[in-house]
Amino acid sequence: STANGLPDNIVMKLLGCDNKTMWAGMQDGGICTIDFETHSVTIPEAVSKWSYGQVNDLIVVGNRLWAGTEDQGVIAVDLNPPFLSRAYTNFSGVNYLKINKLLGDSEGNVWFASNNVLLQSPGEKLEILPVEKDKNYSNIPSILCDNTGNVWFSNDNGLFFINRKLSSNNKPQQILSLADYRGMKIISLYQDNLGFIWLGTFGDGLLRIHPATKAITRYSAADGLANGNILSITGFKNEV
């Protein structure tokens, strides 16, 4: 709690650093690290005067921590001296950007899923992909980089796929239309070690997509799920 040094009592996101420390993103108090052994809290000097509101997601890529905020874009903090921070609050004229999810891909890029744009950061530079001009690609709650470096994301219209090998054309391909699935809402994505893409939904169970044929297998409470809400998916070896 704040009595123990936390900058805020409401924690929105936790991210493991190593075996004894964790990053924490707060509703109002910014970001800090928590030491499991000493129970000490450290606030990076570069963001000690936090003014960017709620932290929705955290990710470490290379030597930089990225924080996605509720309405102030993305804050990047260097993890090596001189520990500078950068605020990306305006993207091509788009202000007050809400960042729902952050993702690091196999090429070191950082992807930002927002309500109305999809952003990519190669290093320190941010670029807005062409999808941001199409309202069909708004409200992105989940994003995945697969084992070949391609990017999948979901929104109110279905599941989409970006082939990163076609560097000159980032136009997403629609893999699944929610018009065919009664307005199903896909809120989590995962790829297992066999290449299958798993889709978690809000109220409609779990779907699995075959990597080659794109055939879809559906799982529900009748197949052993506790309920139809799949908020997050992860796995280990042959288990999901």
C-alpha to C-alpha distance for 148 and 5, rounded to whole angstroms:
42
What is the mean predicted confidence (pLDDT) over 153-171?
Answer: 75
pLDDT for 109: 85
pLDDT in tens, 63-108: 889 999 999 999 999 888 778 888 888 766 667 688 999 998 877 8
pLDDT in tens, 96-132: 688 999 998 877 888 888 876 777 776 555 555 555 4
Using CA atoms, how far residue 183 sits from 118, 157, 180, 228, in Å, is: 22, 8, 8, 14
C-alpha to C-alpha distance for 155 and 151, rounded to whole angstroms:
14
pLDDT in tens, 128-157: 555 545 555 677 889 998 888 788 999 888
C-alpha to C-alpha distance for 128 and 91, rounded to whole angstroms:
7
pLDDT for 69: 95
Hey, what's the torsion of the CAs at 137, 142, 146, 150, to 10 degrees? 20
Backbone angles phi, psi at 135, to 5 degrees: -65, -15
pLDDT for 27: 96
pLDDT for 92: 62
CA angle 48-53-56, nearest 5°? 105
